[in-house]
Structure 1
Amino acid sequence: MAIDSLVLGAGQEVGKSCVVVTINGKRIMFDCGMHMGHLDHQRYPDFSLFLNLNPTRTSITPSLASSSPTCTKRKQKPTLIFHLDHVGALPYFTEVCGYRGPIYMTYPTKALAPIMLEDYRKVMVERRGEEEQFSSDHIAECMKKVIPVDLKQTVQVDKDLQIRAYYAGHVLGAAMFYAKVGDAAMVYTGDYNMTPDRHLGAAQIERLNLDLLISESTYGTTIRDSKYAREREFLRAVHKCVAGGGKVLIPTFALGRAQELCILLEDYWERMNLEVPIYFSAGLTLQANMYYKMLISWTSQKVKETYSTRNAFDFKNAHKFDRSMIDAPGPCVLFATPGMISGGFSLEVFKHWAPSEMNLVTLPGYCVAGTIGHKLMSGKPTKIDLDKDTQIDVRCQIHHLSFSPHTDAKGIMDLIKFLSPKNVILVHGEKPKMATLKEKYSPNWEFNVMTLQTMRLSQFLQPTM
């Protein structure tokens, strides 16, 4: 019996996560993401690569002569989180490429994924004028195919294959998925966090007898400082800016860091008796906050314990931000999407606020190559070329402090040691960092550690009987 792995995305990069695993003839696709740093054919995984698989073991047969490949057999597809680099290509895969098999998500992911997908579609088509890759109807039809699952619920997909979801922390609804066919078993982590934060708990999984673990490695060479030290530095930078009359732009995705940092700011604002307004851009994050209130059982222990007296997501100092307020005088703090300043409202605000030395842009999370956020993190540019006709003067303060919900190198090592699989594949990380993690630690591990290049390599594993 064998486990075959084909990485269609996020092999040695961060973006468009998509891994196809075949366990004793049963094919599973984990994630179906898009790359936030590309606007061309590299945006989505190359689904035509299924043609390179053994046809007797392949469940999808796309036609290169057609723009609408068809699915000839069913293939199970768990989607682990709602972030676009994990779910962004899903409507394209189902409604354009014609996939007709089952799709599994946790209940929060099923609730939140269509919100993120529709927001992305609006930004790219209605505001940027790009050709539509999928429509609102495509999103709706895609979500009808989704089968929601509970944590630790064993789902018997067919007589041979069973899957089970485990709490991953990271963002609301994130899950690690366990899959087993016969005696062969594996876990795909997706994004996870081994450390609890203010609004979510740490990843939780039981000891399992695994032939393969596929783990993210975004921060594979980073050991983070104390969370409290990072929080103090963040609050100090924000307070200094608004005290001087400046505006603070915090580019975040609508769910996750926005709620984490707003809880932090709310507490600080009350302790310091500050009256500077805090804003969320448009309705996306406000809508997300509603789901956080509905899905309290997925949050941290502290949030659940205090829920009867105070809902942590009822933000007293946070308000909706309108476009007409961009050039309004006076200090403020604004959470704007998307988190990497790859487009959308955060980019619109950045154009207005970046030229002023009084203002601050603080980047709380990871930014993929090709985005403005990545350029700001990689140095201190004085100008950024948005396109051949648009140049942005950058005189504002730039502050990067990781509040990323991804686990760090210690967390990755702790999970691998705890699960002790026979084989490990590292994905969702930058190639040099993945190589460093593998070289530094794998000699001390009693199992095989691999990194697979996107689209070019597949690995065949023989589980021990």
Structure 2
Amino acid sequence: MPELKVTPLGAGQDVGRSCILLNMGGKNIMLDCGMHMGYNDERRFPDFSYISDGPLTPFIDCVIISHFHLDHCGALPFMSEMVGYTGPIYMTHPTKAIAPILLEDMRKVSVEKKGDQNFFTSQMIKDCMKKVIAVTLHQSVMVDNDIEIKAYYAGHVLGAAMFWIKVGSQSVVYTGDYNMTPDRHLGAAWIDKCRPDLLISESTYATTIRDSKRCREKDFLKKVHECVDRGGKVLIPVFALGRAQELCILLETYWERMNLKAPIYFALGLTEKANNYYKMFITWTNQKIRKTFVQRNMFDFKHIKAFDRQFIDNPGPMVVFATPGMLHAGLSLQIFKNGLPTKIT
């Protein structure tokens, strides 16, 4: 049997910068092309010099992106437009629609606010996305005469996919992030019965035994309720898409049930666009959302309003959703610093 070779260019023993080079049957396939959100120097992108010191097109047969989170697609315009790659890039339709918005948002923060150098431009994001071939779930795609790929539903976020890749008699399944339990807005991951020679899986929480989701949610709601009852402020650092919608549905339902009056704010410029994508890709959500959608848009929230920066010093209780989820920069960090009894700089 031909040798299978796997080289992590990022995320091997780390969270962030997912980028795996898969060599099978003489073909080179890049699985994800993410960036590390914790670095501002060359370490934020995968080390492409491992593949070549020049353009990558002669050395890579295709690139597959599992979902739109930046730790999985954030280095894509850098790789294609600055390092140089003109070959095919595959992702699902929702990923193709949402990824450029997150990439542009991140570019603005990095370049215009932080003044980062050696970063891709808005035009590069557009040019990169022109190279993308959108795939449908369960659609068998022949990359060339030898490589066949197929995407499967992964849950996690809108458009997230696991990919089955076949070259000759060998096959590999690559997951990226996936979720085996359905949540409030997405279904559970699903794949055909198959026997791959190799399974490459994201495993951020793989060894963590967690409480049941119901317990975690109950605990979360109790803590939020206690805090606003005391007149306190609750900051929820989130990513703009995915977990944010999940938590919004949870709080909206709880506020309605308990008849709470404390304001909930959503400090994300992407919200409106995000909700439009949920409307557009409604078939990617779970059955309950699809059914409810006929009567009303589940993402039109009654209790959750847009946040304005001038609300930071407002007295009284409030709940604020703000990006980024890692609390390492941006508005979530600003609100956090501002809300502490002793100010930190």
TM-score bucket of the superposed structures, by smaller chain: over 0.9
Deviation for aligned residue 1:73: 5.4
Partner SS for 2:295: coil
Post-superposition Cα deviations, 1:180-221, rounded to whole Å, max 9, x if no partner, equal 011100101111111111111110011112111001111121
Conservation of the 8 A alpha-carbon contact between 1:279 and 1:319: yes
> 1:111 corresponds to which residue?
97
> 1:62 corresponds to which residue?
53
Q: Runs of 5+ in structure 2 lacking a partner?
A: none
> 2:214 corresponds to which residue?
228
Deviation for aligned residue 1:132: 4.8
> 2:197 corresponds to which residue?
211
Deviation for aligned residue 1:130: 2.0
> 1:177 corresponds to which residue?
163
Post-superposition Cα deviations, 1:169-189, rounded to whole Å, max 9, x if no partner, equal 111111001100111001011
Partner SS for 1:12: coil
Counterpart check, 1:322 vs 2:335:
no
Deviation for aligned residue 1:296: 1.2
Which of residues 128, 132, 141 is equivalent to 2:114? Answer: 128
Provide the TM-score with structure 1 as the length reference: 0.72
What one-letter code is carried by the residue in structure 1 that aligns with 2:39? H
Deviation for aligned residue 1:20: 0.6
Counterpart check, 1:199 vs 2:199:
no
> 2:9 corresponds to which residue?
8
Q: Distance in 2 between matches of 1:331 and 1:290?
A: 30
Partner SS for 2:225: helix
Q: Distance in 2 between matches of 1:324 and 1:193?
A: 37
Post-superposition Cα deviations, 1:363-387, rounded to whole Å, max 9, x if no partner, equal xxxxxxxxxxxxxxxxxxxx9xxxx
Partner SS for 1:326: helix
What one-letter code is carried by the residue in structure 2 that aligns with 1:208? C
Q: Distance in 2 between matches of 1:325 and 1:126?
A: 24
Conservation of the 8 A alpha-carbon contact between 2:266 and 2:320: yes
> 1:397 corresponds to which residue?
none
Post-superposition Cα deviations, 1:66-100, rounded to whole Å, max 9, x if no partner, equal xxx45335521010011110001001001100111
Conservation of the 8 A alpha-carbon contact between 2:240 and 2:268: no
What one-letter code is carried by the residue in structure 2 that aligns with 1:159? N
Conservation of the 8 A alpha-carbon contact between 1:80 and 1:86: yes
Q: Distance in 2 between matches of 1:310 and 1:225?
A: 33
Partner SS for 1:308: helix
Conservation of the 8 A alpha-carbon contact between 2:34 and 2:74: yes
Q: Distance in 1 between matches of 2:126 and 2:317?
A: 40
Conservation of the 8 A alpha-carbon contact between 1:74 and 1:100: no
Conservation of the 8 A alpha-carbon contact between 2:158 and 2:285: yes
Counterpart check, 1:45 vs 2:36:
no
What one-letter code is carried by the residue in structure 1 that aligns with 2:104? E
What one-letter code is carried by the residue in structure 2 that aligns with 1:62? D
Q: Distance in 2 between matches of 1:232 and 1:77?
A: 41
Which of residues 154, 162, 176 is equivalent to 1:168? Answer: 154
Measured at CA, do residues 70 and 224 of structure 1 come closer, stay the same or move farther in structure 2, by a change above 3 Å? closer
Partner SS for 1:22: strand
Deviation for aligned residue 1:355: 2.9
What one-letter code is carried by the residue in structure 2 that aligns with 1:289? N
> 1:141 corresponds to which residue?
127
Deviation for aligned residue 1:62: 2.6
Conservation of the 8 A alpha-carbon contact between 1:96 and 1:134: yes
Q: Distance in 2 between matches of 1:192 and 1:260?
A: 15
What one-letter code is carried by the residue in structure 1 that aligns with 2:257? R
Conservation of the 8 A alpha-carbon contact between 1:167 and 1:205: yes
Deviation for aligned residue 1:285: 2.3
Q: Distance in 2 between matches of 1:34 and 1:230?
A: 29
> 1:337 corresponds to which residue?
323
Provide the TM-score with structure 2 as the length reference: 0.96
Conservation of the 8 A alpha-carbon contact between 1:73 and 1:101: no
What is the alpha-carbon root mean square deviation over aligned residues? 1.4
Counterpart check, 1:307 vs 2:307:
no
Q: Runs of 5+ in structure 1 lacking a partner?
A: 51-60, 64-68, 357-382, 384-390, 393-465
Measured at CA, do residues 246 and 132 of structure 1 come closer, stay the same or move farther in structure 2, by a change above 3 Å? farther
Partner SS for 1:165: strand
Q: Distance in 2 between matches of 1:73 and 1:45?
A: 16
Deviation for aligned residue 1:273: 1.0
> 2:232 corresponds to which residue?
246
Q: Distance in 2 between matches of 1:46 and 1:136?
A: 22
Deviation for aligned residue 1:2: 2.2
Q: Distance in 2 between matches of 1:232 and 1:181?
A: 47
Conservation of the 8 A alpha-carbon contact between 1:82 and 1:109: yes
Post-superposition Cα deviations, 1:231-288, rounded to whole Å, max 9, x if no partner, equal 1111111111111111111000000110000000010011111121111114212321
> 1:152 corresponds to which residue?
138
Deviation for aligned residue 1:347: 1.4
Deviation for aligned residue 1:223: 2.1
Deviation for aligned residue 1:354: 2.6
The answer to which of 71-80 and 319-328 deviates more is: 71-80
